[in-house]
Chain A
Amino acid sequence: MNNEMIHSYSQIANAYESEVNRNSCWGQVADRFVRCVLLEKVRRVRGDVGDIGCGTGRTLFDLAAGAKASTKFTGVEPAEMMRQIASSRVQGRDNIRIIDGRFESLGLPDGSFDYVYSILAFHWTEDPTRSVGELRRVLRHDGRMDLLFTGRWTGREFIRATTPVYMRHLGPALLFRAVGLRRQFTVPETVELFSRAFPQENVRVTESFETHYDTLESHMGWWIRFEGQLGGLPTDRLETCRAEVSQALSRLGTERGIPYTTHLIHVEVDLSQ
């Protein structure tokens, strides 16, 4: 994640705690991943667990509550305000610590973790190859890892509807810069990337698509996160742009609501096999 995006996420840290965000399609995606994948795996871990891009620490805190008392948890988060909220949340819990770091530079010793997970963060990496190398470095020789992040086709309806608006307001140079901040992974690229650092037979990559229907207000509640990518747009222009984006999204409305299709990539690494 570049410094501009880290700052942007830091500024909206409080909004992350809001009910709107937790109930949004992204909140639902994260909750389901925790319930269906992480809960059971974390319960079985004996040793050290790392949450990379832990945000405000909600998942880390909840997972630690259901884990063995001997399991130690480390949350890594680059955005200062997110880290502050996470640190407050875990205060008094001796088996949880929150540290500053990012995928590209985790700032931890080799072989720190038996299990690493990350939810909806890896797509912000600035340097995928270096980041995967870091993950390999901090994972123990028999460690396991689960990463969930967005893929190339996430939000296709929204992007199609809003790109002409952003093109008008930003122009191609700023638009391409904004677009380039988030990695657009496909499954073949992901397989190739992780197989460079881990034995291919220990890596499993799957993808899923799901369409979520919601109200305009609810979608706009999380869509404004994207505005962190629009650095350089003056405030008055941003307001106009936001209004036009809102109009463009409202035109997508159906009887069920406004659709947003998530494209998620799940990378599982199991070195214990």
Chain B
Amino acid sequence: MDTIVCQDLIEVVTRWVLQNSPDPLGGDGLVTPETDLLASGLLDSVGLMNLVAYIESVVRCRIDLELDVDLAEFSTIRGLCGHAVQSRDGMRQGGGHE
């Protein structure tokens, strides 16, 4: 799972969102990597928090929430996955432990 690439991660995360959303067919019924998970009602704040924890478990790396976070991206699957991969890669380059 360490070698997971962003596209694979996006697919895994999209499945998680559909399985855990209280309203998976809400909004326009379409979940794309760019869908705003909060504004569409797919996830609420608790759901987003759980999603972050899930992504952390998949990439085996803590997502740094204090870092310069683009809030618009933080509520999309693509943005979150990108942020997670960046966090993981940054940790590797910095010699951190997974």
Contacts and interface: CB of A to CB of B under 8 A. Distances in A.
Contacts of A152: 46
Contacts of B30: none
A32 to B, nearest CB: 25
B81 to A, nearest CB: 15
B90 interface: no
Given A153-B22, A156-B22, A171-B71, A166 B66 contact: no
Contacts of B74: 167, 172
Prevailing SS type, chain A contact patch: helix
Contacts of B46: 152, 159, 179, 184
Interface residues of B, number: 17
B5 interface: no
A229 B77 CA distance: 27
B49 A163 contact: no
A156 B65 contact: no
Contacts of B22: 153, 156
B87 interface: no
A172 B69 contact: yes
Interface string A162-198: 0110111001110110011000100000000000000
Nearest to B26: A160
Contacts of B65: 171-173, 176
Interface residues of A, number: 18
A252 to B, nearest CB: 12
A176 B44 CA distance: 11
Q: Considering residues B38, B45, B65, which has the most beta carbons from chain A within 10 angstroms of its beta carbon?
A: B45
Nearest to B65: A173
B41 interface: yes
B39 interface: yes
Contact of A176 (B36, B41, B52): B52
B76 interface: no
A175 B48 CA distance: 10
Contacts of B66: 173
A179 B45 contact: yes
Nearest to B83: A172
A152 B74 CA distance: 23
Interface string A236-253: 000000000000000000
Interface string B14-41: 0000000010000000000000101101
B44 A159 contact: yes
17 contacts: A152-B46, A156-B22, A159-B44, A159-B45, A163-B38, A164-B36, A164-B75, A166-B45, A167-B45, A171-B69, A172-B52, A172-B71, A172-B74, A175-B45, A175-B49, A176-B52, A179-B45
Given A164-B36, A164-B38, 19 more contacts: A156-B22, A159-B45, A159-B46, A163-B45, A167-B45, A167-B71, A167-B74, A168-B71, A171-B65, A171-B69, A172-B52, A172-B65, A173-B66, A175-B45, A176-B45, A176-B48, A176-B49, A179-B49, A184-B46
The 5 A-B pairs with the shortest beta carbon distances in the complex, nearest first, are A173-B65, A163-B45, A176-B49, A172-B65, A159-B44
